[in-house]
Amino acid sequence: MTPGAAADPAPGRHFLTVPAPGGERLDLFVAATLPTSRTRAATLIATGAVTVGGRAEKASYRVVAGEVVAVVVPAPMERPVLGESIPLEICFEDDEVLVVNKPAGMVVHPAPGNWSGTLVNALKGRGGALAPAGDPERAGIVHRLDKETSGLLLVARTERAHRVLATALAERRISRLYATCCWGHLEGDALTVDRPLARAPHDRQRMVVVAGGRPARTDFRRLARFASSDLLRARLHSGRTHQIRVHLASEGHPVLGDDTYGGGGARRLAGLPARRHWLHAAWLRFPHPATGLVVDVRAPLPEDLRHSLATLAERPDLIADPNALSYFGFYHDAD
């Protein structure tokens, strides 16, 4: 799933009652309650879209329990999504669906701060049909990957295909397996993390484990143990934002290179480039939306992660080996 600005709240007038004990800054209260980012809340306050008991207040105002905060969220300005000539690696394609091997560093769909250069811009630039997935910015997208996560991503070309695949995803009939390396070592070769996730109340770009969050389960299997890290295969049973990254961090073993959740240190030791975390969507299996037959698609490790794997494993020959994951048994016994 893609990091970036938090989704804007629904347009219209919102009435927020301050719970006891109160005392929170107005911008923080609005950000946590709508919810939205603190920057967006501050902008709404500065432009007069927020009132407290009918009066304007500054972002630093301390709200009082029982006060009613009214927030008027304007409708977003429509912005055309333009096709761009951006090379894409297509791993599977027919009239109903395609599978893209997304490179690290590419955002999946346009949003504030990333209106161009996204996967959707590239798909539109290729031509051909894309399913209308609610709005032009998400045309055809069935699921997402974080910006710095590479690998396989499923795109629907027809409305029927999008509906069928979205249902299959919700019913866990789509298998998504990721290769990742974490700092340190798991206690055993298998680990299941079943902890609910939600956005952090004061930082909408981060996710946290919290009671009352959305259910999230990830199964991990260790494929190799290196001096400072483990190579893991991760299977998603749900698709929450940053799920693999947060679940591993909650175990004290953050993903290598993950600056957001504590794994960004010692990049040189891991052989990782800047702003790259060690996470790759390597194996995707899904029922074809027209035939029901299982489509099996695999994406070898990209060069940057092969270089890191060779560094961690002290095996220079792996840098040039497109089947490095197969060497460690990634594609065996996945069911």
- pLDDT band for position 23 (cuts 50, 70, 90): very high
Nearest residue to 281 via CA among 229, 319, 321, 245: 245
Same domain membership, residue 269 and residue 148: no
Q: What is the pLDDT of residues 132-175, one digit of tens each?
A: 865 677 889 999 999 999 999 999 999 999 999 999 999 999 99
Note the pLDDT of residue 266.
84
pLDDT for position 4 = 38
Residue 100 lies in a domain: yes
Annotated catalytic, 146? yes
State the pLDDT at residue 135. 67
Nearest to 127 by CA among 168, 159, 98, 91: 98
Quick one: 58 and 130 in the same domain?
no
- The verdict on 234 and 151 lying in the same domain is no
231 in any annotated domain: yes
Domain boundary (170, 194, 216) is at 170
CA atoms of 231 and 330, how far apart (whole Å): 10
Q: Cβ(111)–Cβ(68) under 8 Å?
A: no
Q: Which domain holds residue 132?
A: 89-170
Which of residues 146 and 7 earns the better pLDDT score?
A: 146
Residue type at position 331: Y
The pTM of this model reads 0.78
Both tokens of residue 129? 């049909």
- 130 domain residue, yes or no: yes
Cα gap 305→103, rounded to integer Å: 12
User: 110-144, pLDDT tens digit by residue?
Assistant: 877 788 999 999 999 999 999 986 567 788 999 99
Task: Provide the 8-state DSSP code for 265.
Answer: S
Q: What is the CATH number of the domain that holds 35?
A: 3.10.290.10
Task: Tell me, yes or no, whether 84 lies in a domain.
Answer: no
**Residue of 94, 135, 146, 189 with catalytic role:** 146
Residue 160: its H or E element: helix 159-170
Q: Share the mean pLDDT of the chain.
A: 92
Residue with tokens 């990091």: 3
* pLDDT reading at 1 higher than 50: no
Q: What percent of the chain has pLDDT over 70?
A: 95
* 288, 200: one domain: yes
**Which 8-state DSSP code applies to residue 114?**
B
71 in Cβ contact with 44 (< 8 Å)? yes
Given 30, 46, 73, the domain boundary residue is 73
Regarding whether 181 and 163 lie in a shared domain, the answer is no
Q: Provide the pLDDT for residue 215.
A: 94
Determine whether 127 is exposed, middle or buried from the number of CB atoms within 10 Å of its CB (0-12, 13-18, 19+). exposed
Q: Which residues contact 272 (CB under 8 A, 6 or more apart)?
A: 256, 257, 278, 304, 308
CATH at 292: 3.30.2350.10
Structure token digits, residue 51: 């009132």
Token code pair at residue 154: 């499923």
CB 282 within 8 A of CB 299: yes
Question: Is 30 in the same domain as 55?
Answer: yes
3-state DSSP assignment of residue 167: helix
